[in-house]
Structure formats: C-alpha cells, structure tokens
Amino acid sequence: MFVKVQNFTIKNNKIIMEKRIVVTEPMLVGICKRGFIQIDADNQVTFTSKEISQLCQGKILDKEVVGWSENTNFKFALQDIGFDMINEILKRSPLFGELVGSFLDNK
C-alpha cells in the first residue's frame, strides 16, 4: 500500500517534505507482522516497540527518514479501532506481542 498524500513545509528557505499517514487496521496488522511499512517503491519505514506503543496510546508518531536527496518527515496516527482490536492484533504479532495491554497503563 503506497502513501499518496504529500505536504510541503518551508523552513529557513528550505523545502521540508512531510507525509501524514493514518494507520488503518490492515496497515497495523502488516506493521506488526513485518516491523515496517512500505511507503513507495524505494522507501520503507521501520518501527520499534516504543514507537508502536506510542501509536497504540493514540499519540502522533513523528519519524524522519533520511533519503538520498532529501529527508522526509512522517507523522503517523492510528485510526480509532478500539483497544480490544489493538490488543488482538498485538497478541498475534511475532515482533510486538510483549506490548499486549501495556499501552492501557501508559495513558
């Protein structure tokens, strides 16, 4: 699944590319299985346990990916799929299974 929406910001006379991505239920399942999301044909963004926990808490995750010609800032937000569904996805995750239920205590 490729990201289509791009936003540009100008800071200090420099164009900063920013992509905002809403992580849907199928996207979260894929991230929890593989540990990354494919942004386009050349780029992928990997996730750590801490970052997945932040998403599950309902926070906006800011990531910067260094590219060949430019850096891209990503803002990820998890779609409201409910805590029960998040727990079920995490239970089946080979990478982030240890996070089951832990994000509820961190609010």
pLDDT digits (tens, 9 = 90+) for 65-97: 877 777 788 999 999 999 999 999 999 999 999
- 2 located within any domain: no
Q: Please give the tally of structural domains in the chain.
A: 1
Record the tokens describing residue 52, joined without a space. Answer: 């997945």
User: Are the CB atoms for 62 and 54 separated by under 8 Å?
Assistant: no
Its domain, for residue 65, covers 7-102
What's residue 4's pLDDT? 46
β-pairing verdict for 71-78 and 14-23 = parallel
What's residue 19's pLDDT? 87
- 1 located within any domain: no
* CA 103-31-59 angle, 5° bins: 40
pTM higher than the cut 0.75 = yes
